[in-house]
Structure 1
């Protein structure tokens, strides 16, 4: 059964809907994804059949394509949040999982490009975890 997913950027200027199913869900540790997320990895959903509909703010969406690679990133011009990208050359919709406001029914399939991961990633399991921001010492 096809699903509908809704999402938005952080400032809510851009809103979108994805209709259809996701084929895969990857956590990508490549250098490009680390740099464009500012984090350890990108968490992206992929689909060759789902359709993307911009509900609001399409004029605020820009796409950056890294020369000589297949890497691209769409984002809100106002707040910088990652947004879905449709790559016509690959016929592939890429949706940053954190941009969705609705739950997805699949879990990540794999962690990819682990050979490019940041050296501190392997140390994450041994650090404390908190449900909220911890008290900072002064």
Structure 2
């Protein structure tokens, strides 16, 4: 994958919360052909919501989130946490912030630990 990303968003919509099990999804957008599977493509499982415009791809072997082409075939969506190296692009926007998880701000203010709390 080339580092020619177009957009990097933190999406706070209810669907992204449910798909990730977290407060938001961090996704990077690029051209649909900006990927070449070297191996493991047969282990990719994709879920596409039957009525809405959202999808999710993951590895059937390890469960890791994986890049996928959106339903309209206009963008390759790359879960930011799936990258091995930091991309040149930085987060540009928090989208659907009106649907932000009610516990997000309190969580960001909680005590930090480098591992599990003692």
Fold match (TM-score > 0.5): yes
Tell me the distance in 1 between the aligned counterparts of 2:90 and 2:33.
Answer: 18
Displacement of 1:67 in angstroms is 1.6
Q: Which runs of 5+ in 1 are unaligned?
A: 1-17
Give yes or no for the alignment of 1:82 onto 2:69: no
Give yes or no for the alignment of 1:97 onto 2:100: no
Query: Which has the larger strand fraction?
Result: 1
Q: Which residue of 2 aligns with 1:55?
A: 38
Give the count of matched residue pairs. Answer: 118
Contact 1:20-1:49 at 8 Å conserved across structures: no
Using structure 1 for the length normalisation, give the TM-score: 0.78
Q: Which residue of 1 aligns with 2:112?
A: 129
Contact 2:7-2:30 at 8 Å conserved across structures: yes
Q: Which residue of 1 aligns with 2:16?
A: 33
Indicate the RMSD between aligned Cα atoms, in angstroms: 1.6
SS of residue in 2 equivalent to 1:33: helix
SS of residue in 2 equivalent to 1:51: coil
SS of residue in 1 equivalent to 2:113: coil
Based on CA coordinates, which of the two structures has the bigger radius of gyration? 1
Runs of 4+, deviation exceeding 6 Å: none
